[in-house]
Each structure stands twice: as C-alpha cells, then as structure tokens.
Homo-oligomer: A and B are copies of this chain.
Amino acid sequence: MIHVGIVGASGYSGAELMRLLAPRTDISLDVVSAATSAGKRVDEMYPSLTGVVDLTLGDFTPSLFDGLDLVFVALPSGGGMTVVPELLDRAGRVIDLGGDFRLQDALLYESFYGHRHTATGLLPEAVYGLPELNADRIVTACLIANPGCYPTSAILPLAPLLKIGAISPEGIVITSLSGVSGAGRSASVDMSFAEVNENVRAYKIGTHQHIPEIQSVLATVAGKDVSLSFVPHLVPLTRGIYTTIHASLVGTFDRDELLRVCSGFYADAPFVRVRQTVPQIKDVVMTNFCDFTLTVEERTKQVIITSTIDNLVKGAAGQALQNMNLMFSLPETAGLLGKELHHV
C-alpha cells in the first residue's frame, strides 16, 4: 500500500486528485490539508464525495506528512517552492502540480511569474512530469514538476513533428481556449457566471507563464531553440482545453505521413489518441486522454493542429496520477483507464 497526502486539497485540482484516488485499492490517501478551509470535512466542501472520501481538511502542518510515500502539492504557483523543500525532508517524493519547478532557469521563472524563486536549489533535481516524453526520468524522480494544462495540450502534438524536423521551430502560433476550472476555485467577479457566460476574452497575450514552459520542453525535443506565440482565451465552459496550432511545414510531408509519424511516436502512449477527424472537448472530458489531429494546408504550407484535453485530468490531476503510477512501478493506466477508472 502506498501512502499519500495532498497539500491544497480544497481547490479543483485537489478535489480531482481525491476523486481519482478514492477508488484505488493500492493507494491510501491519509492526509489532506487546505489552509483556507481547515477544519471542514471534504464532503462538506464537495458533497459529491460523500461516502467516497472520509477525511477532514487540516492546516498545513509539515509533520502531518511525515513518512508518507508521496505528497501531491496542489497550490497556486508560488506555493510549491514554499512547502516542497520541507516536504521532501519528511515524505519520500513530491509531485508539484503548480508551476514552481517547471522552468530550470530561475531568472526566466521570475520574469514570467513575477516573484523571486526561493527554492532554486531544487531545480536541478526536478523532473518535468510529462510521461510521454520523460518516463525514464520520472521513474526515479523524487520531485516531479507536473506540466501545465496548456503546455500539455500543445507539447504532445508538436513533439513528434519537431523531433523529425517536419515543422519549423520558429513562428509557431498557439491559440488555446480554456474552461474556467483552469483558473482554480476562488471568489472573483471575473470568474462569476454573469461575466463568463455568453462571453469570450483573451488574456495575458504574449506574457503567459506557459510560454517559456512550452518553449523549453520543445527545445529539448527539437534539439534547438523553439520560438512561439501563445494566446489563451477564457470560454464559457467548466472543463476542457482546446488548442489550435499553426506551424510552417518543412519539406514535403503530406497529412497521412505526419499522422503516421505521430501515431508511431505515441504507439506505446495509452493516453494519446491521434485522430483522423477533428477532436472535440466533449470526447475527452473526465478522461486522461489527449486527442489531436492535424492538417497540411498546401496553399500556405502550414501544418494546422487541433488538440484537446480535460484541464483537470490530463492537464492536472490525471497526469499527476500517471506520474505516480510510473514512480511506483504501477501500470501506467492504473486508475485512469477502462476498468481501472472509477468515477463516483
């Protein structure tokens, strides 16, 4: 039995972790903390977890996590670097769902996140937890930086194409649409129903913190610098990310060849589905799948990709469990696919 805990369990990613962990018979969720909701029972905050999670949220007290095999940190960015150093002393391993350990370059972090990095000593050992690219390193990692939701939806389809040089690493244009759960569970006029419903707005154009994350991960894949533009949009739905990408075709590949390249690249990846038809959010909601397809626009020599994930599953909690499965030599799909995926 693997014993785990969650720091920041009251937010949407934390709740999704609890939902996905609850039916596991090989994992025991022992401790859940949430500073702002300490003292509340989980099923009081999330009535849908009644009879499923029988725990009370505690304050963040490091000693509570002593001896656990793994701790998930589901805090807003800036929270991870505060608690992870201490957690690594007390528990075996940590998966941070926030952005604090995704960038190896602390200065780059500070310029996009807007505050100093206070745990730079841990950056060298942090492993970017995208299992489809980094499985070998994830297996042995003590500190996993779980990828951002937008980056997951963009990196997965771009990686095989950059790897073989079928698209230019420069001038990539990424446009993403996100449901509101991606912004977390918090009181804000901007996220209120009356402001989001019947509305669309772009935000953080050219300044979103996922830009350097996508660029640096893809640069490693491509073996050279990658330069891209990224514009995220808030659209009126609760769950789901839809990402449309334009990249310049290099060479003479046609659509079928590129789809085959992608299918081959992900032949052993249970959660990537390379599609013939245009994907849609509703086909991946509540699952750990990333669905994508691509088109070669002959007229403009552009490769056009459409990709979709559930931001709370493959974009957060599901991916974290996929990482956990690899770290503890469990089947990669345990609790995430088919007979193993329990929804309550």
**Residues of A in contact with B, size category:** 35 or more
Check if A48 is an interface residue, CB within 8 A of chain B.
yes
Q: Are B238 and A235 in contact (CB under 8 A)?
A: no
Identical copies of this chain, number: 4
Among the stretches A56-64, A81-89, A138-146, A273-281, the one at the interface with B is A273-281
Report the bound CA distance from A188 to B282 in whole Å: 18
Check if A306 is an interface residue, CB within 8 A of chain B.
yes
Query: In this complex, which of A189, A299, A306, A344 has the most chain B Cβ atoms within 10 angstroms of its Cβ?
Result: A344
Check if A200 is an interface residue, CB within 8 A of chain B.
yes
Check if A253 is an interface residue, CB within 8 A of chain B.
no
User: Quick one: given A194-B180, A206-B295, are A48 and B282 in contact (CB under 8 Å)?
Assistant: yes
A164 to chain B, nearest CB (A): 22
A positions within 8 Å CB-CB of B = 12, 22-23, 25, 47-48, 50-52, 171, 173, 175, 177, 179-181, 185-189, 191-203, 205-206, 227-229, 231, 233, 235-240, 242, 244, 246, 248, 273, 275, 277-287, 291, 295, 297, 299-300, 302, 304, 306, 308, 337-344
User: Quick one: given A199-B281, A200-B281, A238-B194, are A340 and B338 in contact (CB under 8 Å)?
Assistant: no
Nearest-CB residue, chain B, relative to A178: B200
Q: Are B300 and A237 in contact (CB under 8 A)?
A: no
Nearest-CB residue, chain B, relative to A199: B282
A82 to chain B, nearest CB (A): 23
Q: Of B175, B287, B300, which contacts A175 at CB under 8 A?
A: B175
Q: Are B180 and A193 in contact (CB under 8 A)?
A: yes
Nearest-CB residue, chain B, relative to A203: B278
Q: Are B23 and A339 in contact (CB under 8 A)?
A: yes
Q: Are B194 and A181 in contact (CB under 8 A)?
A: yes
Nearest-CB residue, chain B, relative to A273: B50
